């Protein structure tokens, strides 16, 4: 499980860390959102985490720490740096990270978890969710 989580999460963490140095916030956030959403919507990973967390709470905790919690901390640090550079206006980078995360993921992830539909959404649909999530995020947190 540890290997699976690290294998899935490491590219996302590296990409989030590189956001601090971006010259094109919108394009890089869109790229990140698309890749992150595609990774999270992989049925195998989702089934593994959701199916085993109840029986093995330690696995659920491990996934949360190495995956989403680390990504949120990395996003917060990146948003703090982008705010310092004047490229974002995130007075509360932790909240901005949570908003970004759920603007991008909430619709497809909730649909998959609540309906049990294991088929990954079409790539075009995931791109639309990612792109619109970024658009709304930047409307709220873009430079003023």
How crowded is residue 41: how many other Cβ atoms within 10 Å of its Cβ? 20
Whether residue 137 is predicted with pLDDT greater than 80 in this model: the reply is: yes
Q: 2-141 adopts what CATH topology?
A: Tetracycline Repressor; domain 2 (1.10.357)
Mean pLDDT (the chain, rounded): 86
pLDDT at 56: 76
For residue 16, the model assigns a pLDDT of 84
Specify the 3-state DSSP secondary structure of 10: helix
Per-residue pLDDT of 1-33, as tens digits, reads 566 666 666 777 777 888 888 999 999 999 999
pLDDT: is 64 or 139 the higher one? 139
- Model pLDDT for residues 93-131, shown as the tens digit of each residue: 999 999 999 999 998 888 877 877 777 889 999 999 999
CB of 114 within 8 A of CB of 6? no
Is the pTM higher than 0.85? The answer reads no
CB count within 10 Å of CB 37 equals 21
Rounded CA-CA distance 71/10 in Å is: 10
DSSP-assigned letter for residue 87? S
Domain coordinates in residue numbering, the chain:
2-141
pLDDT score of 132 more than 60: yes
| Cα 97 to Cα 48: distance, rounded to the nearest angstrom | 25
Higher per-residue confidence, 25 vs 65: 25
């Amino acid at each position: 499980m540890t290997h699976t989580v690290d294998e899935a999460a490491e590219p996302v963490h590296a990409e989030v860390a590189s956001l601090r140095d971006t010259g094109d916030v919108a394009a890089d956030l869109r790229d990140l959102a698309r890749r992150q959403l595609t990774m999270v919507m992989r049925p195998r990973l989702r089934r593994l985490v959701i199916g085993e967390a109840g029986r093995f709470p330690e696995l659920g905790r491990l996934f949360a720490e190495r995956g989403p919690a680390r990504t949120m901390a990395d996003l917060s640090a990146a948003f703090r740096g982008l705010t310092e550079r004047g490229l974002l206006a995130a007075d509360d980078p932790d909240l901005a990270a949570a908003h970004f995360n759920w603007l991008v993921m909430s619709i497809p992830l909730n649909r998959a978890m609540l309906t049990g539909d294991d088929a990954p959404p079409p790539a075009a649909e995931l791109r639309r969710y990612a792109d619109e999530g970024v658009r709304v995020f930047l409307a709220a947190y873009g430079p003023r």
